[in-house]
Amino acid sequence: MNQFLKPTVACLAILGMFGMQGLCAQDDPDRTAPPQLTTDRSGRSLHIDGDAAALHVVVQQTTIADVLSALAGFNVRYRSSIGLDEMLDGSYAGSLEHVVARLLNGYDYATKRDASRLEVTIFGKGGEAEIPGPITVSVRRQPSD
């Protein structure tokens, strides 16, 4: 074999071995979604571990929208009529539905379970419903006879 080709083939073989290992882990039927850990320089982090029956989510300076988006690996879909940019810090554990309920504490929302999918619709933040202002009505007195 060519002296320049030999190290390249060795590197590709090693990379191929790691790639195959990743493929095998993805095909594991007992695993619902891979654990996720993301951290950036601003101190934001998100860690998800477990399955839909026993989920553990740890967040630090992460928005609700980011957490719900990360739960897409557990077949969660969400829609919101408001921005979900409130920052969360904490640990949430329990079933998928329980974790979503704790994440959305203080929000008005509805969930729908459709086979293996959990659909979440967020309507607004609790207690922030727009109350219409008072209506002013002019009253004229009729002179009495």
Closest to 82 in 3D by CA, of 119, 42, 130: 130
Residue 59 CB: number of other CB atoms within 10 A? 22
| Domains by residue range for the chain, with CATH | 30-125 (3.55.50.30)
CA–CA dist 39, 91 (Å, integer): 16
Q: How far is CA 85 from CA 45, 64, 65, 77, in A?
A: 15, 6, 6, 17
| pLDDT top residue among 65 and 138 | 65
**85-123 pLDDT tens trace:** 999 999 999 999 999 999 999 999 999 998 889 999 999
- The answer to whether the pTM exceeds 0.85 is no
- Tokens linked to 46: 């998100």
Question: Do 71 and 88 meet the contact criterion of CB atoms below 8 Å apart?
Answer: no
Per-residue pLDDT for 64 more than 70? Answer: yes
Tens-digit pLDDT profile for residues 28-59: 334 445 555 565 657 789 999 999 999 999 99
In terms of Cβ atoms closer than 10 Å to its own Cβ (0-12, 13-18, 19+), residue 120 is buried
Distance CA 57, CA 49 (A): 7
Contact 116, 75 (CB under 8 A): yes
Say if residues 76 and 68 touch (Cβ distance below 8 Å): yes
pLDDT tier for residue 129 given thresholds of 50, 70 and 90: low
pLDDT confidence of residue 5: 44
- Whole-angstrom distance, CA of residue 99 vs CA of residue 81: 21
